[in-house]
Structure 1
Amino acid sequence: PETGFVRLSQIIGNPKANPPVPPIIPVCASHWWNGCRSGKFPKPIRMGRRCTLWRVEDIRALVDRIASSGS
């Protein structure tokens, strides 16, 4: 989507889902959370105790930044 929110499983993928969800950014969950804490990855938005989301615009900007830096 152009705007909206995505969950962690949509960002890092979930091969065990039916059907499998391919990753946008292929890292493990612990690496993703460490990157969020350090500022390397976008900060999450908490929508409740058990619902954490990221803005699609922030994820698109991250993908563009990674693609332009080559790392």
Structure 2
Amino acid sequence: MAELPETGFLRLPQIIGNARAKPPIPALIPVSRSTWWAGVTTGRYPKPIKLGPRITAWRVQDIRELIERCA
């Protein structure tokens, strides 16, 4: 698993991975984009924070808690 910063925000490709990126980004939570957004809608995954009109991110603390809960 990739090292997470102590604080800050993660964008969706940093969470679910992106095999097409150069270099590829490994997934912290290996689900598809549509599965992730369905989980956000149902409350299974944390709610995002809007950092700008076209920038959505998640708190590192929320993702850490999700990983610990799923482990």
TM-score band, normalised by the shorter chain? over 0.9
Partner of 1:27: 31
Partner of 1:47: 51
Question: What amino acid sits opposite 2:11 in the alignment?
Answer: R
RMSD: 0.4
Shift of 1:49: 1.6
Shift of 1:47: 1.0
Q: Which runs of 5+ in 1 are unaligned?
A: none
Q: Which runs of 5+ in 2 are unaligned?
A: none
Cα distance in 2 between the residues matched to 1:31 and 1:2: 26
Aligned positions of 1:1-71 closer than 5 A: 1-67=5-71
> Structure 1, residues 3-32: CA drift from partner, whole Å, max 9, x if none?
110000000000000000000000000000
Shift of 1:2: 1.1
DSSP-derived class of the 1:42 partner = coil
Poorly superposed stretches of 4+, deviation over 6 Å: none
Q: What is the TM-score normalised by the length of structure 2?
A: 0.92
Q: What is the TM-score normalised by the length of structure 1?
A: 0.92
Percentage of pairs with the same residue: 60
**Larger helix share, 1 or 2:** 1
